[in-house]
Chains A and B, each alone.
Chain A
């Protein structure tokens, strides 16, 4: 069952094209990696799915339904959660308040409390720091908070934009452990990284973006070991598929 399908998607910031005719799909419970150099269009792709960037052409279907023209909050409530580049922890809100924002779905005080407790069990550091400001956490802790509050939205598709950016290696290990666990639980993931080194730990398939277009796609192991990878990063003209 296809959860996300993107057809012929193009987008631009004014005259600057950022995505050109991008197509990809993601099945229920599947994990897809998206890699590419600086400015390749990875973040734009995530923002287009989430309804922030309006495509100039092409379609995005989530669970068979077109997302065209829907508001970001509507898309979020349909079950698409984006953990954006830079984490965007709410300044002036405590850790717990940051989490509460994610709890749109849970109705009733008890359901909210239970959901929060489950998250605290999975992320003990957040329980420990729940009354402190979210922005005072370390980078790795903030990334955990960003992922945790996205999970409280009960997403069917979780999109992560460079979750390891700026983190110490030990924190990257921690984040990737969380992502592997989520994959195990059957959450569909779209994982964006600039550095493809670890993407195969999580992603079944990977696509490579360059200059806003898909240049290479296939099973993660094949894509990452392909000698076409560096050419694709540098913006080869053709779309290649690893068999």
Chain B
């Protein structure tokens, strides 16, 4: 029982990180058919920013990470993706690999390829004891921060005019433009949001891993992409649920698989993704009712 509750809390906190990664990827995919693998580096650059400010007052370091990552996201959009915006998805994908590769190697040049250890809020290493269950503070903070962020983004997308335009653009970009929604603005806001979410992920990820290394963001972007596939391309709530599901499943597999199979955990997750693509290419979470009636 104790073990089950601890695993569940673990699953939720990993799933929540994945959910945010997936929301960033899903938003940009919906709007511009871009699978933004450079989101890995948005997270990684955030972690390096925190590493450099490891001795500064934490709120200041966190704010700096957000500012740096958002500026990076907006710059990448302007310099790398805007010129190829109308290209086909394959070209966009290659552009996103190029940006990702460029940034990653930039980090190697500046900081070297080896992981650098540092501490973000060392106090989070402690745990609180509830009856027999030990809950690491870090898990609680992760769940609180990610749910606040998801709630905030959700309210923004639901209640503000710009948010409604973002959702419209994510499901039918061309129709949104035909109704006067400005492409430049929607895309910039999309990258800005992806930047904010990546920065928050970088803070939590840095606290979890305690290291900065140039390729550390890749896993998150991959999972984000996988989660969008599972949730249904362009379906934002679906992407969030997909991220939660992937995170939870991989933690649960880690817990229940016999030790000699654990190394194949990712293989199980990706096999599930292939199954989804084959059986339900529209995603798991797209309800029949929401689909267009002809």
- Which A residues have a C-beta under 8 Å from some C-beta of B? 50, 52, 71-73, 76-77, 81-82, 84, 88-93, 97-98, 100-102, 104, 133, 135-139, 142, 149-150, 153, 166
Partner of B172, one of A76, A88, A133: A88
Give chain A nearest CB distance to B199 CB in angstroms. Answer: 27
Partner of B167, one of A50, A92, A138: A92
- Is B183's beta carbon under 8 Å from chain A? yes
Which of A73, A98, A139 has the most C-beta atoms of chain B within 10 angstroms of its own C-beta? A73
A93 touches B183 (CB 8 A): no
A-B contact count (CB 8 A): 86
Residue of A nearest to B165 (CB): A101
Contact with A along B151-186 (1 / 0, CB 8 A): 000000000010011011001101111111111000
The segment out of B248-256, B261-269, B286-294 that lies at the interface is B286-294
- Whole-angstrom CA separation of A76 from B165 in the bound complex: 15
- Which B residues have a C-beta under 8 Å from some C-beta of A? 161, 164-165, 167-168, 171-172, 174-183, 235-237, 289-294
- Whole-angstrom CA separation of A43 from B179 in the bound complex: 17
Contacts A102-B179, A104-B180, A137-B293 supplied; 19 other A-B pairs, CB < 8 Å: A52-B174, A71-B177, A73-B177, A76-B177, A81-B178, A81-B179, A90-B167, A90-B168, A90-B171, A90-B175, A92-B167, A92-B235, A98-B168, A101-B168, A104-B179, A136-B293, A138-B293, A139-B294, A153-B180
- Whole-angstrom CA separation of A236 from B22 in the bound complex: 55
For B182, list chain A residues within 8 Å (CB). 73
Give chain B nearest CB distance to A125 CB in angstroms. Answer: 15
Residue of B nearest to A87 (CB): B292
Residue of B nearest to A89 (CB): B292
For B161, list chain A residues within 8 Å (CB). 100
A91 touches B172 (CB 8 A): yes
For A82, list chain B residues within 8 Å (CB). 178
Give chain B nearest CB distance to A233 CB in angstroms. Answer: 26
A93 touches B291 (CB 8 A): no
B175 touches A100 (CB 8 A): no
Give chain A nearest CB distance to B27 CB in angstroms. Answer: 13
The answer to whether residues A101 and B292 also contact, given A88-B172, A90-B168 and a CB cut-off of 8 A, is: no
- Whole-angstrom CA separation of A50 from B235 in the bound complex: 27
The answer to whether residues A101 and B164 also contact, given A76-B180, A92-B290, A166-B294 and a CB cut-off of 8 A, is: yes
